[in-house]
Amino acid sequence: MNYTDASIAEIDAAIAAAKAAFPIYRRISDAKRAEFLQAISREIMAIGDDLIQTACTESHLPEARITGERGRATGQIQAFADFISNPAWKKEIHDPAQPDRTPLPKPDLFQTQIPLGPVAVFGASNFPLAFSVAGGDTISALAAGCPVIFKAHPAHPKTGNLVGGAISKAVTSCGLPQGVFSLIHGASHAVGSHLVQHPDIQAVGFTGSYRGGKALYDLAVRRPHPIPVYAEMGSVNPVVLLSDKIAENPAALAAGLAGSVCMGVGQFCTNPGLLILQKKDAGFLDLLAAELDKLPLGTFLTPGISDAYAAGVSNLAQHSKKLTSRDLPSPALFVAEAATINRVVLEEVFGPCTVAILVEDKAEMISFIESLEGQLTGTIHGTKAEISEELVDALLQKVGRLLFNGFPTGVEVSGAMVHGGPFPATTDSRSTSVGTQAIYRFVRMVCLQNRL
Amino acid sequence: MNYTDASIAEIDAAIAAAKAAFPIYRRISDAKRAEFLQAISREIMAIGDDLIQTACTESHLPEARITGERGRATGQIQAFADFISNPAWKKEIHDPAQPDRTPLPKPDLFQTQIPLGPVAVFGASNFPLAFSVAGGDTISALAAGCPVIFKAHPAHPKTGNLVGGAISKAVTSCGLPQGVFSLIHGASHAVGSHLVQHPDIQAVGFTGSYRGGKALYDLAVRRPHPIPVYAEMGSVNPVVLLSDKIAENPAALAAGLAGSVCMGVGQFCTNPGLLILQKKDAGFLDLLAAELDKLPLGTFLTPGISDAYAAGVSNLAQHSKKLTSRDLPSPALFVAEAATINRVVLEEVFGPCTVAILVEDKAEMISFIESLEGQLTGTIHGTKAEISEELVDALLQKVGRLLFNGFPTGVEVSGAMVHGGPFPATTDSRSTSVGTQAIYRFVRMVCLQNRL
């Protein structure tokens, strides 16, 4: 095995295999597909410690985190296997015929879901297992009945090959055509471009940067036959801090927030990068700065991310005031006023930093929220009495998930989860990339009229 | 009232009013929205005969058809009012907290749907009531909680104003802000372009030509913040005719097909423009040609459609063989062989004509179907014994609705209906523009975590 970029011929061969596998794969039963998913899970576990050590080495993430992430990945596979084992997942609707209706009889109508076709998936740098080769995008597409061509992330190619090998073993042991899953490497944009523009690719899943996701979206919508792109591109995840809640236990709130900012070296899509609070509560920021000053910077996933963080915080320091005391780069808190803000401070800096925006009052808080871009999450820390319907409504317009008195890092794999949100958080606000509802990105409804 | 193109200032004012109305409209109850829809229906009926006569005059469609279409439009409004009166429409999912779960407690998660925001709707020429000002796109968006700005079709501006006036009366009588609904005119593409590119428009509904729908799609996906476009652009709606079924009652089949081809002067999105049958069954086409030769051409909706039909059938005559005996333009049947086809004959000609494609055998039938573009509908006429799973599967990949032993014209408004299909039939194969599921085009899911 090697990690050199796939050639055009290799990409085309993978897509041709996926296309050939699709008519077979789409017609096997849900039960058989569920068995296949469970076989993938078993093969991943069978790699054993080699997978953990390889992922730790490539990602610089600690062993406990990687072990936990493997559990998340296999738990996610089980969740999808369970989900498609219940026929309700197809949301079938049956409107019986009314042959005696006047002036015209009503036909028998039956609605169900069918898979879209071969899907291209691009994995994330920051979750080498749970948002990667056998992550949520791959598993939800396979659960839907779509073959997958996975473009491995260059930050962890060995981990990718190990997991890709596990999926291929499951394909074989389940007697499926090999084209159901292919792994290709490609540090060059040319590989992804060719993949997304190929006429036999029918949808795209992506987790990563705005630049990467938007580039794939632009290619896909300009195809002669456009296809859907589900790109999760991250956001700054605003956290609103209200006065009474801050006053309840400021030390615990500061410690919780600092932990959420620094978790995984701040390399989470749902990292809280923006705080919104009233000027009268600005004293809380000193507590938070002190908490952040206690935490280590940690080792980034890649030198590229490390460099981007250093540049990002240095840029923030030019357009806002640094409240943490250590030299940059370090975990950092900045502050600016909503009235005089340079909007450059609202752009995501991937890493353990956050920017606090001070507003005069609740009216300015609402109008500032209304000025924000789309976000994966929004959070309100407040007592029941001080959280107005207007505030909830305003923040809800901007987010896929709204949290009350919690921290946005940590995305539960669950039926009710929405890991999505309005552009530019994602390219399709009507979808989620985490949780079982993610399967509906890769199917479309069809109606059978008077089926025999 | 006049029908001159809306100025940029007028379009901007309508959008500003919609934006201002949205925070109010999205927060009223489903029950109140259902009342509003029913008020629209009552106001449309209150226009009385003036509406019928105006629509007949502008569309050249007969009174019985327009009266029936009004019934379809008000029936559709009632269907959406009923649909949102059942809270199940929001597909709420509640995953309760598991505070004792290890290693981490599970939060309480609640998923529901919220409206996207102001929607621009472009009406169709061929249904001045049911796919126009108070048609399925408008009503499904209003039902979802989205304000609508409707661009009236220049083929029936007076009808548009009458129905728009009815909606505005309902807005007033229900005490809603006027911006919930606006009607603008615009024969020029500039009006539609400005509307679709405005940053406060959040989705687009369209029924019409490929050229029109694709142009709006291209504008929408190139916006700084792309938005979904639901364009239903029509198709040729292939009809597969199998030997035993033809033999059962060829005369009835020919009469039924001819009626479906010519219904409404062939001006239906689901008009059967393509027949697929084996060479050995080609004798059936003489029967069909004879039936078509009995039917009048009729009056087209607009001179433009009439001219396009004349040009379209003249082009078909150059690339296939005409089997009907009358001079063109007339209801017409053409025939070509799959093996030697010029694919220009597979392009939609809007009007009462159809092209029969002869295949050698069932294998060539499948491969020809696999070569087709996406379609709104596909139909199989066959006995249970002769319809293979492979044929059903192949045709299903290409369509939104698959009919057995029926005719595709006539789209039931029903929960199970899918009036959609893969590109280029529509720009979003995961949606329907007819039936209650159409509401989901205009909402997105959100998750509330540990809501108070």
DSSP states of A105-121: PBPPEEEEEEE---EEE
Determine the pLDDT at residue B3.
83
**Residue B360: strand pairing partners:** none
Q: How big is the CA angle at A205 (ends A203 and A208), to the nearest 5 degrees? A: 145
CA pair distance B409, B192, nearest whole angstrom: 29
Q: Which residues 397-436 of B have a C-beta within 8 angstroms of A?
A: 397, 399-406, 410, 412, 414-418, 420, 422-424, 427-430, 432
Interchain contact B272–A (C-beta under 8 A): no
Which residues of chain A register pLDDT less than 70? 1-2
Q: Are B432 and B420 in contact (CB under 8 A)?
A: yes
> Which value, in Å, is the radius of gyration of the alpha carbons in chain A?
23
CB pairs A-B closer than 8 Å: 179
For residue B213, report the phi and psi dihedrals to the nearest 5 degrees.
-65, -45
**3-state SS assignment for residue A18:** helix
**3-state SS assignment for residue A290:** helix
Average pLDDT of the segment spanning B386-415? 96
The two tokens of residue A114 are 């069918």
Interchain contact A450–B (C-beta under 8 A): yes
Which chain B residues are within 8 Å of A423, Cβ to Cβ?
A: 225-226
Question: A412 to each of A73, A79, A286, A392, A431, how far by Cα in Å?
Answer: 12, 12, 31, 21, 16
Which chain B residues are within 8 Å of A225, Cβ to Cβ?
A: 374, 423-424
Concerning whether B232 is annotated as a catalytic residue, the answer is: yes
Average pLDDT of the segment spanning B308-327? 97
Question: B315 to each of B295, B325, B335, B352, how far by Cα in Å?
Answer: 21, 17, 13, 15
b/e per residue B96-128 (b: at least 16 CB within 10 A)? eeeeeeeeeeebbbbbbbbbbbbbbbbbbbbbb
Q: Which residues 215-254 of B have a C-beta within 8 angstroms of A?
A: 217, 221-222, 225-226, 228
**3-state SS assignment for residue A313:** helix
**Residue A148: strand pairing partners:** A119, A181
The two tokens of residue A123 are 């994995």
Enter the ipTM. 0.97
Interchain contact B93–A (C-beta under 8 A): yes
**E strand or H helix at A149, and its extent?**
strand A148-151
Determine the pLDDT at residue A2.
62
Q: Which of A58, A269, A291, A353 is catalytic?
A: A269
Closest CA to B250 of B289, B284, B283: B284
CA pair distance B220, B206, nearest whole angstrom: 12
Closest CA to A270 of A232, A308, A239, A237: A237
Q: Which of B56, B146, B262, B269 is catalytic?
A: B269
What pLDDT digit, counting tens, does each position of B148-197 carry?
A: 999 999 999 999 999 999 999 999 999 999 999 999 999 899 999 999 99
For residue B72, report the phi and psi dihedrals to the nearest 5 degrees.
-65, -45
pLDDT at B103 exceeding the cut of 90: no
Determine the pLDDT at residue B2.
62
Half-sphere exposure of B238 (CA within 13 A, CB side): 32
Query: A298: how many CB neighbours lie within 10 A of its CB?
Result: 18
Smallest CA–CA separation between A64 and chain B, in Å? 12
What pLDDT digit, counting tens, does each position of B55-93 carry?
A: 999 999 999 999 999 999 999 999 999 999 999 999 999
What pLDDT digit, counting tens, does each position of B247-291 carry?
A: 999 999 999 999 999 999 999 999 999 999 999 999 999 999 999
Average pLDDT over chain B, rounded to whole? 97
- Greatest CA separation found in chain B? 81
Determine the pLDDT at residue B234.
87
Question: B137 to each of A93, B205, B419, how far by Cα in Å?
Answer: 21, 6, 12
Concerning whether A262 is annotated as a catalytic residue, the answer is: no
Q: Are A264 and A295 in contact (CB under 8 A)?
A: no
Q: Do A417 and B114 make contact, defined as CB atoms within 8 angstroms?
A: no
Q: Which residues contact A88 (CB under 8 A, 6 or more apart)?
A: none
Determine the pLDDT at residue A410.
87
> What are the structural domains of chain A?
8-233+426-449 (3.40.605.10), 238-404 (3.40.309.10)
- Greatest CA separation found in chain A? 81
What pLDDT digit, counting tens, does each position of A175-234 carry?
A: 999 999 999 999 899 999 999 999 999 999 999 999 999 999 999 999 999 999 999 998
Interchain contact B199–A (C-beta under 8 A): no
DSSP states of B51-113: HHHHHHHHH---HHHHHHHHHHHHHHHHHHHHHHHSGGGG--EEE--BTT-SSSPBPPEEEEE
For residue B22, report the phi and psi dihedrals to the nearest 5 degrees.
-60, -45
Q: Do A116 and B429 make contact, defined as CB atoms within 8 angstroms?
A: yes
Q: Do A423 and B225 make contact, defined as CB atoms within 8 angstroms?
A: yes
Length of chain A: 452
Q: Are B179 and B193 in contact (CB under 8 A)?
A: no
CA pair distance B397, B416, nearest whole angstrom: 18
Smallest CA–CA separation between B4 and chain A, in Å? 33
Q: In the 8-state DSSP scheme, what is residue B280?
A: G
DSSP states of A395-438: HHTTEEEEEESS-S-----STT-----STTSBS-TT--SSSGGG
